Structure 1
Amino acid sequence: MKNVVVESDLLNNVLSNISPLDEEAMEQARERQDSLTKPRGSLGRLEELSIQIAGIKGGLPSIENKAVFTMAGDHGVVEEGVSAYPQEVTGQMVMNFLNGGAAVNVLASEAEARSVVVDMGIKAEIEHPELVDMSLGPGTNNMVKEPAMSREKAVKAVESGIKVFQEIYNEEKIDLVAIGDMGIGNTTPSSALISCFTGTDVEDVTDRGTGVDDEGYNKKIDSIKQAIETNNPNPEDPFDVLSKVGGYEIGGMAGVALAAASKNIPVIVDGFISGAAALLAYEIEPEIKNYLIASHDSVESGHAATLNHIGLTELVDFNMRLGEGTGAVLVMPIIQSACSVLTDMMTFEEAKVSDKD
């Protein structure tokens, strides 16, 4: 962790359990890959994935139980006209998730992954037995005028993600985690976070999000610049940046990622907002980089800056930008297949096939 004092036993305990990858397990996986009935390296990224996951898990990997955590939050900056959709859509889409009608539900079902929906701070009042209530308030403050949240709430947002993960993990051991988002206006704080942490110009990490017109796009750029100027977030202090220009759901996703890594579980990053959360987690604890898997190259321009800063390469590029965790659950079967090839495929010796001289 960076030299930042955070008075949180929960967080500090999680961070202390994020360790370097198991080099011995990775070497054993690499040797087995080289002995399988195929030319060495012929399965490309699948081989690399299996070796990475062996290092995460400390042995030959098995992927059975999967879960996607979709964290929802509202944003006060919406009043600046930065989104094409009204704020009530956040709550309406959360109900859609809970009723199984969204894209992430369809793709999670195909991947046989559990869908966990978390209210991190939405404006609407929703009652549903499947909704995990970790609300920190009816949305953040308008970051153009004041900090998005207090530092205390920034820490609580990350802690809330940790608690949600730990509760689900205690119910059913998870082998693979995906993080996703929902929140009208949340590409605006995501751009601000990414600009602060990477040092990239606001214009280069800001796109049209839900599809704002030229006027809305210009408002968005101006709002982000003004928020950064007004709040002066310190890029060396992740919780300062989160509190000044972040979002509850962004902190929550970062918490899920950190908690999963502490249990030796790979974390699949979705798109732009999920990437901002992964970047926040990386700034809190750089060791998490080795536990992250970038699912796809979001159409949102700032996602590339995030992946480059962390040092990740996406698995697919389908011109997606929906969020919700859709890209992350889409690649779950690919990751599962990579592990199955390593564990289930025969070696030259086992198959009695002649290896090359």
Structure 2
Amino acid sequence: MTTPWWQQPVVPLDAGRLAQALAREAQLTKPAGSLGRLEQVAVTLASLQRRGAPSLERIWISVFAADHGIAVEGVSAFPQEVTGQMLANFAQGGAAISVLARHLGAPLELIDLGLAHEIAPLPGVRHLNIAAGTASFLHGAAMTAAQCDAALRVGQEAVQRAVEDGAELFIGGEMGIGNTSSACALSALLLDQPVSELVGLGTGLTALGLRHKSRIIERAVAHHRPHANDAFETLRRVGGLEVAALAGAYVAAAQNGLPVLVDGYISTAAALCAVRMNSDVRRWLLYSHRGAEPGHRFLLQELDAEPLLSLDLRLGEASGAALAVPLLQAACRLHNEMATFAEAAVSGSLV
């Protein structure tokens, strides 16, 4: 039996570069540990990038868009037409991630995996049309195995383009009405936790809407739990096309030696899928922020992740990850450009 591509080995960390980076941090003109997690991030990036001087000057952002059939069950405050409308807004440069990508000088790749409502082709958007969105996962699977595999490969191909462009960091984003419901169902199945602890307001539901959303997801999770026996099957049953693309991208990034900065709730659900599909992917994932959705913190705990920011974000699109990039860039510059005690002619070390 052929091993799936996502189970192929990932690039190992460079233990020599890790030791070198730790030694340099110990000699910089500051008290040991005084830059906190910025020191840890710089050292981690040095080992991931296999270089003495970590660098994050070339950032690649791919945003994956797709619709979710579960939206027809009334779990969102917005209609599915909004996915296509927001994709057009991305393409026109008016979305939050469009603004942040320009601010970072990063390319912004837009990928339409499949919308429920057909739209005219948009300039600069890759329209793939794997399906007209997913099916409702209330009583059946969201995707066929072939659709899920195709979506995973979309993420793999996005990473390949990033690598060919010389990217030093990959960021994935998402857009899809109903995708917090998908992330909640994924979290409930992968973490074996009650939906009531994970469900959130998503795009702005009322209290009544939240209760309805919770009941729908609880019914769906109960239906799929006996059959969700591995990460791929769980993803296929209650995931989304864009969530699968993110998971595929994370695996492919690790296989290509490209560090990843994970965005918010949806992206972290995809990250857990990726780690369950290939456990060695975990070491290649950095986490940008802790979002406002209740389920996000449980996912982060499971992944033993410490995000850089906590700003009560719930937008998605890769916006939180983009906001964290300057912190990572600063960590690299501090590591690379601060003087050592010897260079500054400072006696001893600061403790």
- Give the TM-score, by structure 1 length: 0.93
Task: Supply the distance in 1 between the matched residues of 2:24 and 2:120 (Cα, whole angstroms).
Answer: 50
Question: Matched residues, percent identical?
Answer: 36
1:125 is matched with which residue? 119
Task: Supply the distance in 1 between the matched residues of 2:204 and 2:223 (Cα, whole angstroms).
Answer: 26
How much does 1:129 deviate?
Answer: 3.1
Q: 2:341·2:349 contact (CA, 8 Å) conserved in 1?
A: no
How much does 1:55 deviate?
Answer: 1.4
Residue among 29, 43, 50 paired with 1:51: 43
- SS across alignment from 1:299: coil
Residue 167 of structure 1 aligns to which amino acid in structure 2? R
Are residue 164 (structure 1) and residue 167 (structure 2) matched?
A: no
Query: Once the two structures are superposed, what CA deviation does each residue of 1:260-280 show, in whole Å capped at 9, x if it has no partner?
Result: 122222111111101111111
Q: 1:196·1:233 contact (CA, 8 Å) conserved in 2?
A: no
2:93 is matched with which residue? 100
Are residue 41 (structure 1) and residue 33 (structure 2) matched?
A: yes
Runs of 4+ in 1 over 6 A off after TM superposition: none
Query: Once the two structures are superposed, what CA deviation does each residue of 1:76-103 show, in whole Å capped at 9, x if it has no partner?
Result: 1111100000110000000101111001
Task: Supply the distance in 1 between the matched residues of 2:43 and 2:231 (Cα, whole angstroms).
Answer: 30
- SS across alignment from 2:126: strand
How much does 1:167 deviate?
Answer: 2.7
Residue 180 of structure 1 aligns to which amino acid in structure 2? G
Q: Structure 1 unaligned runs (5+)?
A: none
Query: Once the two structures are superposed, what CA deviation does each residue of 1:120-169 show, in whole Å capped at 9, x if it has no partner?
Result: 22223341231123331110001002110112221221111101221343
Q: 1:299·1:319 contact (CA, 8 Å) conserved in 2?
A: yes
Residue among 12, 16, 21 paired with 2:13: 21
Are residue 155 (structure 1) and residue 159 (structure 2) matched?
A: no
Flag the 1:288–1:234 CA change in 2: closer, same or farther, 3 A. Answer: farther
Task: Supply the distance in 1 between the matched residues of 2:334 and 2:292 (Cα, whole angstroms).
Answer: 31
Are residue 311 (structure 1) and residue 292 (structure 2) matched?
A: no
- SS across alignment from 1:331: helix
What is the Cα-based RMSD across aligned positions, in Å?
1.6
Flag the 1:334–1:234 CA change in 2: closer, same or farther, 3 A. Answer: farther
How much does 1:237 deviate?
Answer: 0.9
2:240 is matched with which residue? 247
Q: How many matched pairs?
A: 348
Task: Supply the distance in 2 between the matched residues of 1:234 and 1:345 (Cα, whole angstroms).
Answer: 54
Query: Once the two structures are superposed, what CA deviation does each residue of 1:326-351 show, in whole Å capped at 9, x if it has no partner?
Result: 00010111111111111122111112
Residue among 224, 228, 236 paired with 1:231: 224
2:279 is matched with which residue? 286
2:323 is matched with which residue? 330
Q: 1:140·1:247 contact (CA, 8 Å) conserved in 2?
A: yes
2:139 is matched with which residue? 145
Q: Structure 2 unaligned runs (5+)?
A: none
Q: 2:159·2:170 contact (CA, 8 Å) conserved in 1?
A: no
Task: Supply the distance in 2 between the matched residues of 1:174 and 1:234 (Cα, whole angstroms).
Answer: 38
- SS across alignment from 1:212: coil
Q: 1:233·1:245 contact (CA, 8 Å) conserved in 2?
A: no
- Give the TM-score, by structure 2 length: 0.95
Query: Once the two structures are superposed, what CA deviation does each residue of 1:185-229 show, in whole Å capped at 9, x if it has no partner?
Result: 100010000111111111111101011112221221111111122
- More off after superposition, 97-106 vs 213-222: 213-222
Task: Supply the distance in 2 between the matched residues of 1:276 and 1:313 (Cα, whole angstroms).
Answer: 15
Are residue 349 (structure 1) and residue 346 (structure 2) matched?
A: no
